[in-house]
C-alpha cells in the first residue's frame, strides 16, 4: 500500500509559505460523512494553524463525491480563491459504480486544474473498505485532509508568484 509507513499528517510547518492572506474553498461531500467530516477538520485545522483566518475559508457541501467537480467549478468561476480542496470518499462495493465515480471525479478535477487559474486539490479517498478510510482520515496513517491543506497552501503560493524569465 502506498500509505504504509507514511503519516499523512506529517509536514514541516517552517517550510510552508505564509497563508495569512490567502483564501481557500473547501468542497465537501455529504456521502460517507464520518470520513469526509474528519478530512474537512484536518484540512481546516491545518489551514488555520498555518495562519489562514477562519473567515477566509469557505466551505460548501455537495451530496456525493461525483458532485465535487461541480462544486469546485462554481468556486473556480468566482476567481476569489487561492486554492480549492475537493474532499470526498468512495468505498469499493460489489458493483462497478466505484470505478465510474473514481474515474469521473479524477478526470473532472484534472480538467478544472487545466481550465481555471485556481488549483483544485484532490482530497478524495478511494479505499477498499471503511477501515482503510478511517486509517487515512485521522487514524493510524494520519489525515489526508492535512496533507491536502499543505498542498493547497503551496499551490496557492505558486499561484501568487510572478515567474520572470
Q: Write out the catalytic residue numbers.
A: 97
Using alpha carbons, list the distances in angstroms from residue 92 to 7, 42, 64, 65, 125. Answer: 23, 23, 14, 13, 11
Amino acid at each position: 500500500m502506498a500509505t504504509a509507513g507514511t503519516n499523512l499528517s506529517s509536514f514541516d510547518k517552517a517550510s510552508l509559505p505564509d497563508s495569512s492572506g490567502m483564501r481557500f474553498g473547501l468542497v465537501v461531500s455529504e456521502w460517507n460523512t464520518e470520513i469526509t467530516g474528519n478530512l474537512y477538520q484536518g484540512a481546516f485545522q491545518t489551514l488555520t494553524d498555518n495562519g489562514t483566518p477562519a473567515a477566509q475559508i469557505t466551505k460548501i457541501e455537495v451530496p456525493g463525491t461525483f458532485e465535487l467537480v461541480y462544486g469546485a467549478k462554481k468556486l473556480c468561476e468566482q476567481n476569489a480563491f487561492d486554492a480549492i480542496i475537493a474532499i470526498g470518499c468512495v468505498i469499493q462495493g460489489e458493483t462497478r459504480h466505484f470505478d465510474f465515480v473514481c474515474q469521473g471525479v479524477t478526470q473532472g478535477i484534472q480538467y478544472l486544474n487545466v481550465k481555471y487559474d485556481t488549483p483544485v486539490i484532490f482530497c478524495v479517498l478511494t479505499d477498499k473498505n471503511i477501515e482503510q478510510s478511517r486509517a487515512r482520515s485521522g487514524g493510524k496513517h494520519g489525515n489526508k485532509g492535512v496533507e491536502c491543506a499543505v498542498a493547497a497552501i503551496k499551490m496557492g503560493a505558486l499561484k501568487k508568484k510572478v515567474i520572470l524569465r
